[in-house]
Structure 1
Amino acid sequence: MLILQPPLIDSLPTAGSPLKTLSNLPKSAIPLAIADIASRSNSLVLVLVEKSQDAQQLVNALHFYLGQEHHLDAEGEADGSVDLPIVHLPDWETLPYDSFSPHEDITSERLKALSQLSDLHRGLLILPIQTLAHRLPPREHLDGQRFVLTTGDTFDLHTERRRLEASGYHAVDTVHEHGEFAVRGAILDVFPMGSQQPLRIELFDTEIESLRAFDPDTQRTITKVDSVTLLPAREIPLTETGITTFRNHWHETFEGNPRDCSIYQDVSSGLAPPGVEYYAPLFFNHMATLFDYLPNDTQTVRIGALHQALEQFWGDVGTRYESLRHDRRKPILAPEKLFVRTEELFSELKPYGSIEIRDPDTQHPRLRPLPDVTFDAKADDPAAKIKRLMQSGQSVVFVAESAGRREALLELLAKHGVRPEPLEQFSDFKPESQPAVITLGLLDQGITVDGFSIVPESQLFGRRVPQRRRRKQHEIATDLIVRDLSEIEVGDPIVHLDHGVGHYQGLETIALGHDINEFVTVEYRDGAKL
């Protein structure tokens, strides 16, 4: 990874020390500053941002700067060579008191993050401030419903099926999503929460003969594994004890006949109705907060107007509560049962050593925003801005989103006399001897650091990096998307999503009313044009 010398901050704060401030950093330099802080810290670093989108962009950038894009095993999990784990605790991405539950992949990522905190004493934990305000299940819920399967273990199919159902997994014909399982003879397929791939458990009588990760789309084996940890499928327990606790607390909290409420009826039947997460406090005798999961020596980094963002969140919660609280067939819990108030939250943060990054600016002596390097297909020399940057004495690191995009970018740049050297990962870059390189990463904004510039693909073509979130059943291969028309020539085959394969015929100017616009022309069989 890139080590800044001298560091941006002279010494890191410790518990009880005054809040330190980093100001005048360009916004694009914030991920680099956090990577620098985390690499020098011997503690877990909790990073708080204003919005969910900010958290995901920061995770992507930190993977690049810390050199972790290439440290994944066949299952997409960290292979153990990562010195600074990056843990993302996502928001539910639902409105307060919504009548639907978070996506299974979000729940999976949340449960994985919370389970990792038990053993995580150094690394990065990244989340939006409103996620910190959510009350959480107590740690014993995760610890009590987590179990490990190992090749050679005794495995009674009927018993384990019941245990999966009690943990919130549901039976299907074919496993595709987190929280699903399927039984076929002496084989049990399950998609564990927190795992990148589903797992196939093959039995010989009552013994686990093999554990294999497989592709949910092709159902083909990817790799063998020796053991796997199964986390609960939900943040609430649908066990007999959990349901009994829910029913008792319901009677203590709400008036009226519970038989009139579908939430109560579904939970009593062992089902998880949509939006049941907003009744989580009824399943436990006490709730936790994220502070109950954090090590005592945790350091925090606060980015942006967090107090204002949290107050806005509480305003939305109050508005939703007042509009929904009068439905007797669907009573809801008071906001304080579900969320931590602003004053209480910042009071809990106070004892931790904290750094605040505020007032993003462009006037930093070492870290500067990337100049305009847009690839202009209409110019005489489309790569003129890139060449100007290189001629100024700056070494340049081009960042492509994938291996396929790297090859396309290399071909495009070579057409215009720019030939960067392919680099396995950013941490291998040597600016003093490599004037231009290209590597992989999901980086949204570039930056100029001392004597070199980092140029992400998004700033070459003037578009944002797509956020890597949930696995989709039918994905479009991003390697194949045409980012800029300069990548293709007249006569090249091109695929339209709705109309199929045709041949690119260039741009055609068409007048529509008082407006004149350019349109892409694609020719199909028998001279048909689109």
Structure 2
Amino acid sequence: VRGEILDIFPIGSEAPYRLYVGFDEIEKIKIFKPDTQITFGHTSEIKVLPMNELFFTDAEKEVVVDEVEAYFNKHTVSDLEFKKVNQDLDQLYNRQNLDGLSFYMPFFKDSNHALFDFVDQKKIYIIDKYKMAKNDDRMHLDLEEYIKTYKGRTLLDIPLYFKLDEIYAYPHIEISGFTKIGSQDELVIHARDPITYQGNYDAFIDRLLKEQDTYILSMSQLARLDKLKELLEAKNVSYVLNPTEVVVDMVNICYPYQQISFDLVKYGLHVLTESDIFDYKNNKRRIRYKSVMSEMVKISDISELKVGDYVVHYDYGIGKYIGLKEMELSGNVRDYLHIAYD
């Protein structure tokens, strides 16, 4: 916060936003780069997600606390469970440690919903079924540990999560990318990273005109959307904005939207984000330094040194051996190595 300026970097955003606040309203919103602080676009709205899933009004809080107390009064709970529930209710009431109170979420809703109940059916979500099963196993181990710790299972009876069988009941296609096709229900898809253009608009437009494949371009910033439309219209490239269904062999633009990017070359489908088109990635060539330490020889006697040899001093680095020099230090006369440094 700097005076009337507020900078925020919401979860899921590719860049932070700079809000210019005047009295009781936001006058303008700019997009800037965090490393240089230079603004490169503007927008009229932004989406700010909550820090956690458990958020509620004061009125909802009062109702939920009463419902939780009523729920546990109907059940036989152990002394440890009773103590934990009271501690949780205190934290819930004071909005503390909400990340650790997610199992009370069912009390805030009339019914449970999965992510798929809210998403557009035309969008594609890739979920690792193996990881889902592993996470489910870990969760059951945690629940078993809970029973041992609190000597009860009343909290476990709260319908907090969907079982895997309930999730698998949603319409879906199972994709196996690392095994041979074993049945007609399996589908193998070979995807690769897309070509990035790093601000080379001519190369990008030329490829659109030459290949005439199906392109899905996701834009999250209004300024870049306007720039993209300007580039396409200047070269008479047809496009459709926010189609209800993907139009084959045409440029499909989705705004405001963020997604991963990939190429399905076999099917002529290319999914790109605005970063793939506009962002310049400065891939500096790494300079390899060859170490000569392995070629050095550690001497054991002064007779092994010859005048003109290069030596490495522990503190002063590389120097040239000039010879022995007699010097008096602290009343003692001794021979010392004479090393010259540039």
TM-score, normalised with respect to structure 1: 0.33
Kindly name which structure, 1 or 2, has the bigger radius of gyration based on alpha carbons.
2
Higher relative contact order (CA 8 A, sep 6+): 1
